[in-house]
Amino acid sequence: MEEELKPIAVEPTTESSLEGDVHHVNNPVLDLPHIEKKYLGSVKSYLKHDKGYIFSDGSAKVEVTVVTDEIIRVRLAPKGSFLEDFSYAVPPSNLHSVLFDLEESEDFFAVKTNTVICKIKKQDFYISFEDRIGKVVNADYSSMHWEENPDFGGYYVYCTKKASSDEVFFGGGDKATNLNLRGKRIQNWNSDTYSYAFNQDPLYKTIPFYIGVHEGDAYGIFFDNTFKTYFDFAAENHDQTSFWSEGGELQYYYIHGPHMMDVVKRYHSITGTHYLPPMWAIGYHQCRWSYYPETMVRDVAKQFRQRSIPCDAIYLDIDYMDGYRCFTWNKQYFPNPKKMISDLASDGFKTVVMIDPGIKVDDNYWVFKEGQENKYFCRRGDDYFMEGFVWPGRCQFPDFTNPKVREWWGSLYKGLVEDGVAGFWNDMNEPAVFGRGTFPDDVRHYYEGHRGSHRKAHNIYGMQMVRATYDGLKKLYQNRRPFTITRAAYSGTQRYSSVWTGDNVATWEHLKIGTLQLQRLSVSGLSFCGTDIGGFTGEPDGELFTRWMQFGVFSPFMRVHSAGDTRDREPWSFGEDWELINRKFIELRYKLLPYIYSVFWEQHKYGLPILRPLAMLEQHIPKNLQREEEFAFGDKILVSPVLNPGQQEKIVYLPAGYWYYYFDNTGYEGAQEHVVHTPLDEMPVFIKHGSVIPEYPVMQYTGEKKLEHLKLNVYHTSGKEDSYVYADHGDTFAYEQNIYSEKHFIVDGSQGFLVITQHIEGLHSERFDNYHIYLVGMPTLPTSVSQDGVDIELQKDKQDNFFFVVEKEFRKIVVQ
């Protein structure tokens, strides 16, 4: 039962004592007349509820909710009434109850969990977060504040925190800027940004989440607000970090570390992880605006197979449709799509097609008619339909914030699914409208019953579109896993889709931007991400294309895509020399597939990011917080893509430990820089000592060949390291019923010889019987190898490499 508001005795703070803060805090909306900001006064009372407390200054209220021992949510109600407790990013099922206490002292209240103390100062309502040994991790610079918004009668809401002099900031989604956001000001308003530039902002996605690191410790702030939001990372004032919004509620989650990895895991625990994609979705994909007619699609597919370049998917961009009408076929270009898709499928290709949100205004078009009859399209404030021009000409747009509309939208995929389409690509869903950019602010949205204007719904429009797509496909494919990709996103979109970074450019600078964006997306919850390899607009030369392809191998999503007015962009389009290298690297992706799949599993099950910036690996070393070009792909592989033309060598920093250069197995000491040669057919790729890296034989597409055995590359260590390898059916949801296998390996070299142990979890058993184990980096050739106490022979393969065969259920191997 709720307790009554309890009056408490504190010295009231005069308004003037807070004034000092006002001119330190910037007014972000520069063209607005100055409106007085209101700050919280002193804490006068509090109220307990089952998940936390509501504190009041007599008029405004602040709710502090304990989400987990490490996550605390703070909400502000400027006039005492909180807005509806609803979030597209955080499903209620991700919020749990934990035990917590309230302690009151003369100066403050302290909400305590087992890990975090949230202090609310009585005198001025400043909030801070400390760990249990009293280290202040994050603290208000001024109390939360707001101003009346003359445009629509709501509030602009602000939070300003202290920034320490050594503090650096990561996260924030797809921003095309340096990894460390310190000194930057960013905004979130999903925007169609064709050929964007370095530092251009905003772009396509809204991820109002950042990680701060100071004195070696990390924490996160997730400002769950879908209106246009802004972040200032010590840009305007070197000692302050602010975030604010043009509407909605000041609601944020404080996420405790101390490691960046913990913060990202915990951010995933509230916003969700990506479901496990079908195995084919992590193969190589070939895309173009557009492959048509059918003969061209078939020809591209044929060339892949003739040239023995692996490929799992071919994309059809907008021209496959009849006059750009979604869910239709242009029968002139594709007279028998079902037959074409099934022929492609028997050659190992999945077909992925584009679906945009703009529905052509055409009374003879069934999708438009159904949408009209059921009032599924968005309307303006005066009740007229929202109309705008996109590819099909005049369009109306479904209101995806209405569950009924999402259900309908999901069902529209039926025909294409019956035709055999395996994956769907949702584009232009910022939403993009030619000429005016996006919808006008007065467009109305249902917003799950919490109705609002486009100001509130804009940033989640694309997310709700791809959610409708995903949910519909899940029903249509039944137990098969859908594959979806979206351009616009809001926090939590990972529950429904992969993403790509939109219309980039074929320049070396953009290759670098891509490496920054994918690292950033990965630590921002959107791990399944990729760039248009080669650059969407403009023309790469062979070298740029190939270097980008190399980075593509280590991009979670690997797809070549290019704009309609560019020259051919297939792996063979730049001549034989480049084709050879491109093939070698696409093959590398296929060899690494069981490792990559295991990394996807880690992200799904444990919320670990797929790409891990060096800062995340060694956050306690200040200079590593500034490095941008080395990153890990999962736990075992460190890469540093080549980002300059003609580059012959590169200085690469390797984190502490011992590393093996992938292409020749040379060993390198970690915790230092090395000069690494970068011939065109290699790139800096290093494997951590003690790793077990599973390897598939090269296949032309996933599942092409039955595995006779699984190759395991075991890297020498003089310490002790663990690895695991995940496997399942590859494209069903059976893993949700534990039909998978997770094999944990420990490689222990601490006693001067190598002991490899295995522990298997899960109910899935693979068809092969044996592992072929290759030892990498052994100082000398082993004199004896035993499996579970029985001696086994060393063998030589056709390339004269030594290996040995063990049963896949082995428990212990000793190599001496």
3-state secondary structure of 370: helix
* Nearest distance in Å: CB 175, ligand GLC: 18
> Looking at this protein, which amino acid is placed at residue 344?
L
* DSSP bridge partners of 156: 147
Between CA 557 and CA 183 the distance in angstroms is 30
Taking Cα atoms as reference points, which of 255, 265, 267, 272 lies closest to residue 72? 255
Q: State the catalytic residue, choosing from 140, 192, 249, 427.
A: 427
Q: State the catalytic residue, choosing from 69, 399, 430, 587.
A: 430
* Nearest distance in Å: CB 427, ligand GLC: 5
Indicate the helix (H) or strand (E) that contains 211.
Answer: strand 209-214
* Nearest distance in Å: CB 562, ligand GLC: 8
Question: Quick one: DSSP state of residue 717?
Answer: -
| Site residues (CB under 6 A) for ligand GLC, limited to 620-649 | none
Structure-token pair, residue 73 = 């949510």
* Nearest distance in Å: CB 565, ligand GLC: 11
* Nearest distance in Å: CB 322, ligand GLC: 15
Regarding 535 and contact with ligand GLC (CB under 6 A), the answer is no
* Nearest distance in Å: CB 432, ligand GLC: 8
Task: Pick between residue 289 and residue 490 the one whose CB is nearest to ligand GLC.
Answer: 289
Regarding 502 and contact with ligand GLC (CB under 6 A), the answer is yes
21 contacts 38 by C-beta, under 8 angstroms: no
Other Cβ atoms within 10 Å of 481 Cβ, number: 21
Binding residue (CB under 6 A) for ligand GLC from 141, 158, 243, 289:
289
Regarding 487 and contact with ligand GLC (CB under 6 A), the answer is yes
Structure-token pair, residue 660 = 């093996």
What are the φ/ψ torsions at residue 522 (nearest 5 degrees)? -60, -40
Q: What is the DSSP string of 214-245?
A: ETTEEEEEEE---S-EEEEESSSSTTEEEEEE
CA distances from residue 570 to 76, 202, 293, 554 in whole angstroms, order as listed = 53, 31, 17, 19
Binding-site size, ligand GLC (CB under 6 A): 9
Binding string, residues 695-724; x marks residues near ligand GLC by CB under 6 A: ------------------------------
Task: Pick between residue 194 and residue 606 the one whose CB is nearest to ligand GLC.
Answer: 194
Regarding 354 and contact with ligand GLC (CB under 6 A), the answer is yes
Residue whose tokens read 């109390």: 143
Regarding 358 and contact with ligand GLC (CB under 6 A), the answer is no
Task: Pick between residue 229 and residue 537 the one whose CB is nearest to ligand GLC.
Answer: 537
Binding string, residues 428-467; x marks residues near ligand GLC by CB under 6 A: ----------------------------------------
* Nearest distance in Å: CB 567, ligand GLC: 15
317 as an active site residue: the answer is: no
**567-575 long-range Cβ contacts below 8 angstroms, 24+ apart:** 567/539, 569/288, 569/534, 569/540, 569/545, 570/286, 570/300, 570/303, 571/307, 571/309, 572/303, 572/307, 572/309, 573/545, 574/541, 574/542, 574/545, 574/546, 575/542
| Site residues (CB under 6 A) for ligand GLC, limited to 179-238 | none
Task: Pick between residue 100 and residue 289 the one whose CB is nearest to ligand GLC.
Answer: 289
Alpha helix stretches (DSSP H) within 446-525: 454-476, 508-523
Indicate the helix (H) or strand (E) that contains 302.
Answer: helix 294-306
Q: State the catalytic residue, choosing from 192, 217, 503, 629.
A: 503
Length of the chain as a residue count: 816
What is the β-pairing status of strands 802-807 and 795-796?
A: antiparallel
List of E strands, 291-341: 313-316
> Looking at this protein, which amino acid is placed at residue 709?
H
Task: Pick between residue 221 and residue 287 the one whose CB is nearest to ligand GLC.
Answer: 287
- The 3 state secondary structure assigned to 609-666 is CCEEEHHHHCCCCHHHHCCCCCEEECCCEEECCCCCCCCCEEEEEECCCEEEECCCCC
Regarding 318 and contact with ligand GLC (CB under 6 A), the answer is yes
* Nearest distance in Å: CB 414, ligand GLC: 22
33 contacts 110 by C-beta, under 8 angstroms: no
Task: Pick between residue 502 and residue 694 the one whose CB is nearest to ligand GLC.
Answer: 502
727 contacts 766 by C-beta, under 8 angstroms: yes
CA distances from residue 647 to 545, 583, 628, 650, 677 in whole angstroms, order as listed = 14, 21, 17, 7, 9
Task: Pick between residue 174 and residue 543 the one whose CB is nearest to ligand GLC.
Answer: 174
427 as an active site residue: the answer is: yes
Task: Pick between residue 192 and residue 217 the one whose CB is nearest to ligand GLC.
Answer: 192
By Cβ distance, which residue is nearest to ligand GLC?
Answer: 289
* Nearest distance in Å: CB 500, ligand GLC: 8
Binding residue (CB under 6 A) for ligand GLC from 140, 201, 232, 317:
317
Residues sharing a CB contact under 8 Å with residue 153, sequence separation 6 or more, in sequence order: none
Indicate the helix (H) or strand (E) that contains 485.
Answer: strand 483-486
* Nearest distance in Å: CB 515, ligand GLC: 19
Task: Pick between residue 172 and residue 502 the one whose CB is nearest to ligand GLC.
Answer: 502
Task: Pick between residue 289 and residue 528 the one whose CB is nearest to ligand GLC.
Answer: 289
Binding string, residues 642-681; x marks residues near ligand GLC by CB under 6 A: ----------------------------------------
557 contacts 528 by C-beta, under 8 angstroms: yes
* Nearest distance in Å: CB 648, ligand GLC: 34
462 contacts 401 by C-beta, under 8 angstroms: no
Task: Pick between residue 360 and residue 444 the one whose CB is nearest to ligand GLC.
Answer: 360
Task: Pick between residue 454 and residue 561 the one whose CB is nearest to ligand GLC.
Answer: 561
CA 333-340-470 angle, 5° bins = 95
Regarding 503 and contact with ligand GLC (CB under 6 A), the answer is yes
3-state secondary structure of 541: coil
3-state secondary structure of 172: coil
* Nearest distance in Å: CB 502, ligand GLC: 5
- Residues forming contacts to ligand GLC in the complex (CB under 6 A) are 289, 317-318, 354, 427, 487, 502-503, 561
Q: What are the residue numbers of the active site?
A: 427, 430, 503
